Amino acid sequence: MLANLDIDVREGVDFPLTEDELLGICETVLEQEGVTRPCYVSVSIVTDDEMRTHNLEWRDVDAVTDVISLECERPDDDDLSEGEPCELGDILLAPAYISRQAKEFGTTAADECRLLYIHGLLHLLGYDHLEDDEAEEMEAREDELLSLVKTDASIDHVTITRHREGL
């Protein structure tokens, strides 16, 4: 098993994915990215208010957002001993915001959560979307990975608009 997840769903927050599905998605992403080292990932399912607070604290943006990723270590870090687990990082997801966003994109809340969880995992693995070429690479990878894990077909193609400031 490549992934070990610490999942915290805040009381009263509805989340459309199960812990088993989160683990399966993480395993798929790690395998597809060629990661062979065991990785620990913390996943927090939070309220909009909590996400807004974290977004302001960590990104200096006073608005709710869909996902935030905080990288700790990379699996290919030379400082890690052979076989030593990697503390990949933390992912925060705001399912109420994600559900509203899903309606804008004509997707399901579950598929949107899958996509944004994959997006967060890719950030932890070093992907970014600050430049157009990076964004295109990340979108293509999200498309590929989502096609391996989705259970319904509401997302045909990932668009960078999900990741623009102020959405």
For each of the domains in the chain, give its residue range(s) and CATH number, in order of start: 3-163 (3.40.390.30)
Q: What is the pLDDT of residue 156?
A: 58
pTM for the whole structure: 0.90
Q: What is the pLDDT of residue 150?
A: 66
The first and second tokens of residue 43, run together, are 């996943």
- Cβ atoms 107, 154 nearer than 8 A: yes
List, for the chain, all residue ranges whose pLDDT scores fall below the cut of 70: 150-167
> What is the DSSP code string of 14-47?
--SS-HHHHHHHHHHHHHHTT--S-EEEEEEE--
Q: What is the pLDDT of residue 19?
A: 95
Q: What is the pLDDT of residue 46?
A: 98
